[in-house]
Structure 1
Amino acid sequence: MSKKNYSDEQEKIARFAKAMGHPARIAILQFLAEQECCFFGDIHEELPIAKATVSQHLKELKDAGLIQGEIEAPKVRYCINKENWEIAQKMFAGFFGQPICKKESCCK
């Protein structure tokens, strides 16, 4: 089997999409987008899930570059990574803005 060569843009948008592929992560992103920054406890209070699960979701979002965390001992403060957020916005807008086939023979 040969390796597929995907563009850097395809790899990046797929990583963003994967990170956003859970409702809890969407809720975290929406919550953080409304804040300047906030602490882990604020996020945990907002979601009806265990602390360990919140941590896992934050890790996925941070690994994808959509959020950033800064240690302010003994707490961690999180906020949206504004640079990557803007990149993701442009990439998704471009992706969903591309024309689709309108031929009758295509899937309906």
Structure 2
Amino acid sequence: MTTALAESAPLFAALGDPMRLGIVLTLGEGGPLTSARLAAERPVTRQAVEKHLAILADAGLVRSERRGRERWWSVEAQAVGSAGSALQQASRRWDAALERLRAHVEDPPDRT
């Protein structure tokens, strides 16, 4: 496993849950939102959303800012970008490996 991909493992683990992935996508599209607003769009309680946000924050995918009595959550673009770069790197490695396999299958080396 490449270093970049290994370092991104906690990000991918956090995004492996459909609810957390949905929260990140919502924050990415809608800008900073409160946990109450995020919960209003989902079939779970605000407390459940806050637990998901804590996991995402621990993975470095989101951050919060206190404004008055509320916490406003937003996506950490750098972390998402790093994960995307790691996936692109892994994709290039797999593409190269598959190309070598294709070449081997289509034109096997002589075994005489």
The TM-score bracket by the shorter chain reads 0.7 to 0.9
Identify the match of residue 92 of structure 1 among 72, 78, 87: 87
Amino acid aligned to 1:97: R
Identify the match of residue 18 of structure 1 among 2, 8, 13: 13
Partner Cα distance (1:80, 1:10) in 2: 20
Is 1:39 equivalent to 2:34 in the alignment?
yes
Q: CA deviation at 1:66?
A: 0.7
TM-score (ref. length: structure 2): 0.76
Deviations 1:5-45, CA, capped at 9 Å, x for gaps: x8753442111111111000011011011022111111111
2:44 aligned counterpart, secondary structure: coil
Equivalent runs, 1:26-105 vs 2, <5 Å: 26-99=21-94, 100-101=97-98, 102=101
Deviations 1:35-64, CA, capped at 9 Å, x for gaps: 221111111111111222111110011111
Q: List gaps (5 residues or longer) in structure 2.
A: 106-112
Q: Is the 1:44–1:54 contact (alpha carbons within 8 Å) kept by the matching residues of 2?
A: yes
Amino acid aligned to 1:77: W
1:48 aligned counterpart, secondary structure: coil
TM-score (ref. length: structure 1): 0.79
- The structure that has the greater radius of gyration is 2
Structural RMSD (CA): 2.0
- Seen in structure 2, the aligned counterparts of structure 1 residues 84 and 60 have a Cα distance that, compared at 3 Å, is same
